[in-house]
Structure 1
Amino acid sequence: MTALSMLAGIALVLVGLFDMFHTLLHPRGKGRLSHAVIVAFWKGSAALGHRFGSAVGPGGMVAVIILWVLLQGVGWALIYAPHLPEAFSYSGVDPAQKGPLTEPLYVAFMTLSTLGYGDVVPNADWVRVIAPLEALTGFALLTAAMTWFMQVHPALARRRTLALRLAALADAEYAAELSQLEPSSAARTLETLTADLAGVCVDLSQHSESYFFQEEDPEQSLARQLPHVLELRDAGREAPSADVRATARALSEVISHLAQKIQGFVKVEGEPEEVFRAYADDHARRQRE
């Protein structure tokens, strides 16, 4: 039982660290466990008509962080459990009065949080070696949680900025007048949109959790504003200027890449128009009754 408990604990610790690595450091930016938790939050929110609005994305991330903490805490508790109380010294505490389940959890989570009240201190050499490693893991977990939120917000800001720009171009009926504009100006606008869309593609690849953030303001919702880029693409294709048409073709390529990326979330295949409609439907909110 001692070996089984320790092996199970090591497995939980490694699973948690592996998921943290794939979520925060791997180029794909998507750990299996973290993605499953956030998707579960999103599906639950969708079933309720997304009535929690912008709280869904942050709520899912907080749930993932709690999962990471539990994996580390329970994992280390399983490692310590077979060696309590023999491998530890107690000060002002009678270990015989402590529960066989709660005491390992207490020791593990106190070490993980780097608090340490001094009532339980490791005295076995091997525990004295690994306890600081657990404390470092806890510090890394706290840093990872802060870093994760700091990483996702720039991606959201870029997405919201693009949505606002598309909304402004739509209000100005830019697509309808594109063929009458100065070719260099029209081409520059399409080039900027191409670069912005490419940035969104990269953000969805490296920060897949950013997809699951709702927007309170419709004009900042890319899901609502993205169809306007199709109008600009079509208008650019029909422009008399060869430069504008070439830029529109580049824009079309990036639109296709973005549609392929969104397909992985909405599970709908087809032309970009169909994928973007599914994207808008996936982010639609029902009005509160």
Structure 2
Amino acid sequence: MVVFDTVLGVALILAALLDIFQTLFHPAGRGAMSDWTARIIWDIFRKVATRYSRVLIYAGPTSILAIIVTWVALTWFGFSLIYLPRLQIDFMHLQAGDANRGGILDAMSLSVGALITLSEGSYAARYWLQILRGLEAVIGFGLLTASVSWLLSIYPVLESRRSVAQQATLLHHAERQNRIDMIRDAPEQSQDWVLAIGTSVAGLRNQMAQFPITYYFVMGEPETALAGALPYLLELSERASASSVPGLRLAGTVLGGAVHNFLEMVAEDFLLVSKDDKQAIMRAYASEQMADLILIDRTIPYQREQDRDAA
């Protein structure tokens, strides 16, 4: 039983540490367990959102909380299993009546004390257990700081995504409102605008690859969501690429390549669909994010439920 508890405990700790490393420190930022947890929570919220669409804005925060809780729970329970068969033999308890401690709850109490660096009156008699408890305290502190850093790193990505979406929707509105084709009527000015948006989309694609959890954050603004603005950006790049102005053609190619790369990343990593049909990817992305599709000549509203309209 000692060997089984120890091996199982070590396995749980290693599983948590591996997922933390893959999610927070690996350049791709993808931990298998974290991805699975976030996807399950997203699917649950997405199903509920078919009736109450506003709940979808809580999918991202809930996913982050669930992932961090999973890491803490695996680490906590893993060390508890290591301590469990050694409580009565290898630990000294200062409080009266603690000599008979030996249950799983006692082991968990001992473990959480080390994890949050709080002394609870029990001391290890063996040096390797003292080192192990110190290691657990280091892991607990590292997990806290890494989680806070992760949270702070996510919000710039969300801000970038929102900025790109706002730029696209404002340009679309301006073209329709003024009945102007910016590529045809203002090619010199359009060159800088198109290139700037293309650069922003390319940067956003790399940021989302580093922090894939941001995919599950929805702002609750379907009319200005990036998922719905991508068709307009792709069409804008095609118009710019067909221009007779060399600089504008170059900017259009940059924007088109950035949108294509972004769509391929979304298709492979999140939608799990073929990356060949860009139109199908954009429709699937907008549908999953509950976003209005923005085209050059019109906007296709997402079909909101009656309860949302009433609200």
TM above 0.5, yes or no, is yes
In 1: Cα distance, 2:101 partner to 2:87 partner: 10
In 2: Cα distance, 1:93 partner to 1:257 partner: 65
Distance 1:277 1:93, change over 3 A: farther
Residue 123 of structure 2 aligns to a residue in which SS? strand
Following TM superposition, by how much is the alpha carbon of 1:172 offset from its aligned partner in structure 2, in angstroms? 0.5
What is the CA deviation profile of residues 166-223 of structure 1, one whole-angstrom value per residue up to 9, with x for unaligned ones?
Answer: 1110100179512334433211111101101101110121001000111122354211
Does the 8 Å CA contact 2:92/2:123 hold for their aligned counterparts?
yes
Gaps of 5+ in 2: 292-303
Residue 109 of structure 1 aligns to a residue in which SS? helix
Does the 8 Å CA contact 2:85/2:102 hold for their aligned counterparts?
no
2:263 aligned residue: 259
Partner AA of 1:74 in structure 2:
F
Share of identical aligned residues, percent? Answer: 27
2:231 aligned residue: 227
What is the CA deviation profile of residues 47-103 of structure 1, one whole-angstrom value per residue up to 9, with x for unaligned ones?
Answer: 112441321101011000000001100110111111112211112242355451111
1:109 aligned residue: 112
Q: Residues 151-162 of structure 1: matches in 2 within 5 Å?
A: 151-162=153-164
Q: Residues 163-182 of structure 1: matches in 2 within 5 Å?
A: 163-173=165-175, 176-182=180-186
1:130 aligned residue: 132
In 2: Cα distance, 1:134 partner to 1:288 partner: 51
Partner AA of 1:275 in structure 2:
I
In 2: Cα distance, 1:183 partner to 1:10 partner: 63
What is the CA deviation profile of residues 90-120 of structure 1, one whole-angstrom value per residue up to 9, with x for unaligned ones?
Answer: 1224235545111111111111111223x22
Does the 8 Å CA contact 2:230/2:259 hold for their aligned counterparts?
no
The reply on whether 1:3 has 2:3 as its aligned counterpart is yes
In 1: Cα distance, 2:165 partner to 2:223 partner: 6
In 2: Cα distance, 1:88 partner to 1:71 partner: 22
Does the 8 Å CA contact 2:199/2:254 hold for their aligned counterparts?
no
The reply on whether 1:244 has 2:248 as its aligned counterpart is yes
Gaps of 5+ in 1: none
1:59 to 41, 62, 66: 62
In 2: Cα distance, 1:79 partner to 1:288 partner: 54
The reply on whether 1:14 has 2:20 as its aligned counterpart is no
What is the CA deviation profile of residues 228-274 of structure 1, one whole-angstrom value per residue up to 9, with x for unaligned ones?
Answer: 20221122123231221222122211211111001021123233222
Which stretch of structure 1 is more off in the superposition, 92-101 or 61-70? 92-101
The reply on whether 1:70 has 2:73 as its aligned counterpart is yes
In 2: Cα distance, 1:30 partner to 1:185 partner: 40
Structure 1 residue ranges (4+ consecutive) displaced by more than 4 angstroms after TM superposition: none
Distance 1:220 1:142, change over 3 A: farther
The reply on whether 1:197 has 2:198 as its aligned counterpart is no
The two structures, once aligned, show a CA RMSD in angstroms of 1.8
Does the 8 Å CA contact 2:80/2:111 hold for their aligned counterparts?
yes
In 1: Cα distance, 2:61 partner to 2:80 partner: 28
In 2: Cα distance, 1:38 partner to 1:24 partner: 15
Residues matched between the structures, number = 288
1:184 aligned residue: 188
Does the 8 Å CA contact 2:183/2:243 hold for their aligned counterparts?
yes
In 1: Cα distance, 2:45 partner to 2:251 partner: 39
Following TM superposition, by how much is the alpha carbon of 1:7 offset from its aligned partner in structure 2, in angstroms? 1.4
In 2: Cα distance, 1:207 partner to 1:227 partner: 24
In 2: Cα distance, 1:280 partner to 1:256 partner: 15
